[in-house]
A and B are shown apart, each in its own frame.
Chain A
Amino acid sequence: MSFVSRGFTGRRRSGPPGRLPPGQYDAGKAFPVLSAGPVPRRHLDAWDFAVRGEIDDPLSWTWPQFQRLPHVDVTVDIHCVTGWSKFDTRWSGVSVDTVLGEVETAAEYVVAFCDGGYTTNLPLEDVLDGKAWVVDTYDGEPLAPEHGGPARLLVPHLYFWKSAKWVRGLRLSLTDEPGFWENFGYHNYGDPWQNQRYAGD
């Protein structure tokens, strides 16, 4: 926790023009860490990333295999449901388009699953076409465990709880299965521009 000098305590509401969703404030340089449990510490030798569920031949990549997948740099704004937004965050990772590649599936939904037991659900179309990544680098450094390292999902067009920390894979599903926060009264989709915080918003 850090102290802020008087005169800088006011939360900047605006941010860059047109980029702050309703009800959010600009976190500036801060990158708050919220956590609902202990930080998993998984050795990279014991890490893999899997695609399973509605797929004939499930896929998985070890850490070295994942590192060899083509990585892309992405700079995006992120919006946490607790109110903070952060602009121009810089990540590197593998597009979910690359991960799912030529997968043939009847699934219309995915559930991201994680070390520590966290889950979050998304429509399949929301993680395709350049809208989602599995990132392992933040601001030029390996992603810190507190921020979801070794790898987290990044789905910046939805509230940040959808960008699951410590992600270990995607389960393709025919049905929409609410995840950890979605089954506790939070919005099933979570569009920050629609202020979709709670179920029914």
Chain B
Amino acid sequence: MTTDDRRLDGNALAGPLSELFALDLAAATITCAHCGASGPLGAHHLYSDAPAHVVRCPTCTGVVLRFASDSRGLRFEMTGTRLLTVAT
């Protein structure tokens, strides 16, 4: 099985992210800081067989956010996200 086969979609990150966010982020809209495309987290590409969860833009493959939960706590980085929108 190749790493490309193991790619998940962003819905699979909703569970781990619930450690940090009270809201379910699967439907949150992410606007990519690299190319400007936007879409729901659930439609993004998720690479989880790395030292962190790495979420990439489905349009340009740029990294939009990274999340880790390990012995050092929770780390969330989103310099690749220009805007995160959550409908309320």
Contacts and interface: CB of A to CB of B under 8 A. Distances in A.
Do A and B come together as binding partners? yes
B47 A184 contact: no
Contacts of A117: 62-63
10 contacts: A34-B3, A34-B50, A34-B51, A35-B6, A36-B50, A36-B52, A37-B61, A39-B2, A184-B68, A185-B72
Contacts, number: 53
Contact of A184 (B3, B7, B61, B75): B75
Given A161-B51, A184-B77, A186-B51, A39 B4 contact: yes
A156 B68 CA distance: 25
Contacts of B44: none
Given A117-B62, A184-B68, A35 B50 contact: yes
Contacts of B47: 35-37
B87 interface: no
Contacts of A81: 51
Provide the main secondary structure of the chain B interface.
loop
Q: Helix, strand, loop or mixed for chain A's interface?
A: loop
Nearest to A32: B49
A161 B51 CA distance: 10
Nearest to A2: B1
A1 interface: yes
A82 interface: yes
Interface in B15-65: 45, 47, 49-52, 54, 56, 61-63
A63 B50 CA distance: 29
